[in-house]
Amino acid sequence: MRISNKQPGFTLPAVLVVVGALLILAVGILLVAGIERDTARSFVDRQRAELAARAGLEDIRGILTTEAANDDYIVLQSTLNATLTPGSEPAPHLFIGRGKVAGGNFTQRYIPLFSTISRPDDARLAAPAIEPLTGTNANQRIDFTTLPYRDKVRVAWIPVRDEKDRIIARYAYWVEDLQSRVDPAIAGNDKGNGGVHARSAWPFPAAGLNDQPESDAEPALNQIALFALDPAATDAVQGELGKTLFNNRKLLLSPDSQLAAAGLQPPLTRLKAEDAATKGKTGDFTDPKARAVERGLVSGVLPYEEQPIVPFAEGIDPAAAGKPKLNLNKLLADDRATAVDDMADFIKQALPQFEERKGGFPENYLKTLAANALDYADGDSESTLEEGSHRGIDSFPLVSEIVLQVEYQGKVIQNNRHILRFRMRLFAELWNMSNQPVSGTGRCTYEVGIPLGAIGGQTEGLDFDSPDLLDDPTKAVHNLTKIGDRYHGPSFTVSNLLPDQYQFYQVADASYTIDVGPSSLVLTGSTEFTLTELEGAARGLSLEWNGQMVDRVPRIVRDPFGLEFEVKAPDTHAKATIPGHGYGPWGSEINNMGDPRISRYILTNRTAENDYPQNASPYRRTVRRGSIYNNDPSSRKTRHYGRVLPSEWPDGGHDSLMAPAGVALSSSFPLLYDDTIPPTASQFRNFVPAPRAENAPQRISNRGRFFSATELGRTYDPVMWLPTYSDLPGEPGSGSRDTVILQGIRITDTKPRMPETRNQWPTVAVGNAIATEHGGGNSLRIGRPEHPKFDFPGMRAAHLLDLFHAGQSRSEDAAKREGATVSINGHVNLNTASKDAIRTLAAGILKQDPELRRVTNWTHQISNTNPAFAPATAKIDLGTPTREKAADRIAEAILRSRPFASAAELAAVRDEDNLPVFGNPEVYRNNPGVTYDVRSIQWTDAAAEEAFTRVYDASTLRSRNFRVWVVGQAVAPTISTTASPEILSEVRKVFSVFSDPGERNPDGTINPANFKIRLTHENDF
């Protein structure tokens, strides 16, 4: 016997011949024994049909041996254009997809995992059509039932021929993906109050993974929400189904044992065709729980290790596709400079356009992202820093306000010379933007490029930071140290600066005695002089933290307004500025959102002045209350240059309180006009509100490892583009209108303000201009709507998941964390997953933002009972978005958007309304319990990305666990391939198959000697 070579599968002609000989021998024995000829013939026919069925299994064994002995394939599915049984669920037909580069573009080579007469042509990633593959002649194919709730499958017959080229048997097969459903032996937990399912919560950084150390009793994916299979369950009332499945894991013995484990006992009835139109699909269980369990669960799925590979996906450079991803934890363990170079170089190679995201950012963008990512996760609080190239953000403070107090102490005559006396005190407010407490030693530079103005016809004096003054003890007494070409104040200790806490420090003190001429020079009491700092002489301020220059405000100019003095009258004036907020001279201000992380990179303009003390808010979030905030006639305080509200930043977030409730505003926030009071005075320190780590804008892990590559979404993204709004849906021109409102004209009645239609600074819109003076408020968008300007292949931040992985991240073994493989254990293939399965991956109350809130009143609260200086908010719970209980919008969008070749494609899925589903408040509109405007939701970037993180960390795009359904027939010998043969015997077998990669090579690749196809279960059907 031989198998037709038209079927591109694995054939065993030698085995078939041997088995055929054994059958002839068996027949001879039976005849000798006196068995009736008909009985012997039936036995032979049965064995021939059995043999044909085994040939189908060997076909699949051959395909998997050839195409799955690697890690670069995907498994996807397609369905017939029309169901064969009216009212039934379409049956998926699987393909292995192998990416390749052709003509500079990616195409897929498709290998059907069902019997066909031909293969699809190589093409771009899409679900291939099934009908052309199974033939037009009904006698060349078979339609048969596999699972009762699905339509029949359609597959082609593969003929088996004898030595006379006659067809004597045939077989057909169809493969089911067991990883399309959830394994209840892995999923689910009982760690919530009352034994309900609980999701990992803040501050654990990986929302999709178990937060306990790795062990057999603590599987990584016990976060998958089994309770969500129950159509009646909600996040608040989870029901009993999930608990029962969790408690009955010992009953999970085979791929079909989940119904027993769910406590669903027979008899269980199914819907008939006449009921399908109104109650479900033909063959579905009538019991909704049983239906969900059957569709969503499977058991007996075997774990394996996998080497993560850069996908053959649009946006990836073809030269990088197919290469191993880099392990983030290995990068963390490497020499830091080498790791930054390797990470940046790999991004540049694989995503050649990615660097264009930076806009006007002046340093090395890719290295800065790498440094920020590594500093987020490492176990220290030091910056990965190379001056002029990159600065990593870690758990250290940044400068949020600067005050220079200028005290003119009057004139004296010494040795027949006029001597003017001054004291300069420099203060810096540090803001711990991270969610980690910090302690360390700080030190700031003293840069005061103000010269003493000409007095009495004399020439202009020296700058106050001139070495000719500071190095001469007869002219200056100070606590400064000269390092290089700059003077530095003394070190000061920062002890336990709490997350989101603000603290002022005096950082420099210098007293001057300046000779302005002989006593014969006539200086009347009314002689005036002005301290004027020229634009060209702008200085700045640097913050040294634990020996590293972690922050720099490049340009500060103190305007002469308010620095006028009379010789006769000692006086004190103070000059303040807010890095990251306002820039430019009065009347030509450029307004930013107030993020100090961007101030280092604004090189071309100087910080704007802030009136002190009336517009200062020491030890608190910035509110320029005296002349701006209080004079804003809007109850919403829309003049954004009068306050800093992280909740308005593109990332979103929360606003720290200004004072404890019940404290009189005059005490908690003094409106003082006395420049002699330093910002460290007790008047400002009194009634400082307790900071909350949950409000900190910068999420830092510092756990010494990445648990998930999705944590790259915490990476500060220093993109610099001119703030420009896109049009609102259905409102052409609203983008340009609102952009004008946002920018405004400071000295006219059209003062800059936040448009009431927006309530947030804009994302980077298509057509935005590059900016050198704007930025802040952004981290990488991985699992929430991308900036429109970057929302296309090759530019999306989610592409970083296509380049990096976190190894076996929960292991206590560093070699596994930093190794070349990841563990696949209970992961669901999103290219084939059922809707019920996908729902369980995402379901559950969001837990990555303990301060998740909504705005209840946009009017700013400035009463003694609620001195928030921000809109009124209320805490909320927010679960996964649903259109109805049985149809999760995330699941629907994934089903509509697949097949996927990459994580970036998954992150960009949209629903039927063309809305992004991950991290988009709009998809929560009309969610059960959501009766408010979803635009009022205030959440952090981690919360916005949480649903995506859950799905990504619990999923894969390929499979190694399958079930093979095979029909084998013995037929009367015939030479016709189109005629209907006489069927002598039929065998129907179903096999559970595991494509076992075996023990891998040290570099993570598959060792062909160890790769095998394992048969784990067999039955008739």
Residue 996 confidence (pLDDT) above 50: yes
* Greater model confidence, 627 or 179: 179
Question: For position 14, what pLDDT does the model report?
Answer: 32
Distance CA 106, CA 550 (A): 43
Measuring CA to CA, how many Å separate 478 from each of 196, 425, 486, 710? 64, 10, 14, 50
Q: What is the pLDDT of residues 741-780, one digit of tens each?
A: 999 865 456 789 999 999 999 999 999 999 999 999 999 9
Q: pLDDT band at 15, cuts 50/70/90?
A: very low
Question: For position 242, what pLDDT does the model report?
Answer: 93
Structural domain contains residue 208: yes
Judged by DSSP in three states, 388 sits in coil
Cβ–Cβ under 8 Å, residues 350 and 326: no
Mean pLDDT of 96-101: 96
Structural domain contains residue 732: no
Q: Using CA atoms in the order 715, 720, 723, 726, what is the torsion angle rounded to 10 degrees?
A: -70
Question: For position 332, what pLDDT does the model report?
Answer: 99
Mean pLDDT of 626-642: 94
Same domain, 283 and 401: no
Structural domain contains residue 199: yes
Same domain, 405 and 547: yes
Mean pLDDT of 469-484: 97
Residue 945 confidence (pLDDT) above 50: yes
Look at residues 922, 956, 990 and tell me which one is the last residue of a structural domain. 956
* Greater model confidence, 15 or 160: 160
Query: Can you spell out the DSSP letters for 532-578?
Result: ---GGG-EEEEEEETTEEEEEEEEE---STT-EEETTB-EEEEEEE-
Look at residues 694, 727, 759 and tell me which one is the last residue of a structural domain. 694
Burial of 978 (0-12, 13-18, 19+ CB in 10 A): exposed
Least confidently predicted of 518-532, 539-553, 604-618: 518-532
Among 519, 520, 503, which Cα is nearest to 420's?
519
In 3-state terms, the chain is what percent helix, strand and coil (to 5)? 25, 25, 50
Q: What is the DSSP letter of 910?
A: B
Among 892, 938, 882, which Cα is nearest to 912's?
892
Q: What is the pLDDT of residues 391-410, one digit of tens each?
A: 999 999 999 999 999 999 99
Q: pLDDT band at 376, cuts 50/70/90?
A: very high
Residues with Cβ < 8 Å from 335, sequence gap 6 or more? none
Residue 302 confidence (pLDDT) above 50: yes
* Greater model confidence, 670 or 18: 670
Residue 854 confidence (pLDDT) above 80: yes
Residue 886 confidence (pLDDT) above 60: no
Distance CA 58, CA 194 (A): 50
Judged by DSSP in three states, 333 sits in helix
Q: pLDDT band at 23, cuts 50/70/90?
A: low
Q: 786-820 b/e with 16+ CB inside 10 Å = b?
A: bbebbbebbbbbbbbbbbbbbbbbbbeeeebbbbb
User: How far is residue 700 CA from its own chain's centroid?
Assistant: 14
Measuring CA to CA, how many Å separate 663 from each of 432, 543, 614? 24, 33, 19
Structural domain contains residue 188: no
Question: For position 158, what pLDDT does the model report?
Answer: 98
Two structure tokens written together for 479: 């606590």
Burial of 474 (0-12, 13-18, 19+ CB in 10 A): exposed
Q: pLDDT band at 103, cuts 50/70/90?
A: confident
Residues with Cβ < 8 Å from 777, sequence gap 6 or more? 593, 595, 646, 649, 650, 651, 697, 761
Question: For position 587, what pLDDT does the model report?
Answer: 79
Residue 798 confidence (pLDDT) above 70: yes
Residue 214 confidence (pLDDT) above 70: yes
Range of the domain at 484: 395-637+670-694
Question: For position 80, what pLDDT does the model report?
Answer: 98
Two structure tokens written together for 629: 């905030």
Least confidently predicted of 250-264, 422-436, 664-678: 664-678
Question: For position 948, what pLDDT does the model report?
Answer: 97
Distance CA 747, CA 740 (A): 14
Same domain, 906 and 975: no
Mean pLDDT of 198-225: 95
Structural domain contains residue 353: no
Mean pLDDT of 982-999: 97
Same domain, 918 and 995: no
Residue 12 confidence (pLDDT) above 50: no
Residue 237 confidence (pLDDT) above 60: yes
Residue 493 confidence (pLDDT) above 90: yes
Q: What is the pLDDT of residues 889-933, one digit of tens each?
A: 899 999 999 999 998 899 999 998 899 999 999 888 877 788 899
Cβ–Cβ under 8 Å, residues 530 and 564: yes
Question: For position 745, what pLDDT does the model report?
Answer: 61
Same domain, 113 and 258: no
Least confidently predicted of 511-520, 530-539, 648-657: 530-539
Same domain, 1008 and 917: no
Same domain, 514 and 542: yes
Q: What is the pLDDT of residues 356-375, one digit of tens each?
A: 999 999 999 999 999 999 99
Two structure tokens written together for 648: 């308005």
Same domain, 952 and 962: no
* Greater model confidence, 142 or 455: 142
Same domain, 272 and 414: no
Residue 982 confidence (pLDDT) above 60: yes
The number of distinct structural domains making up the chain is 3
Residue 5 confidence (pLDDT) above 90: no
- pLDDT exceeding 70 applies to what percent of the chain? 94
Mean pLDDT of 419-429: 97
CB atoms closer than 10 angstroms to residue 7: 21
Residue 29 confidence (pLDDT) above 50: no
User: How far is residue 435 CA from its own chain's centroid?
Assistant: 18
Amino acid identity, position 956: T
Same domain, 250 and 270: yes
Two structure tokens written together for 108: 């897929």
Same domain, 164 and 200: no
- pLDDT exceeding 90 applies to what percent of the chain? 80
Judged by DSSP in three states, 216 sits in coil
Structural domain contains residue 315: no
Same domain, 969 and 948: no
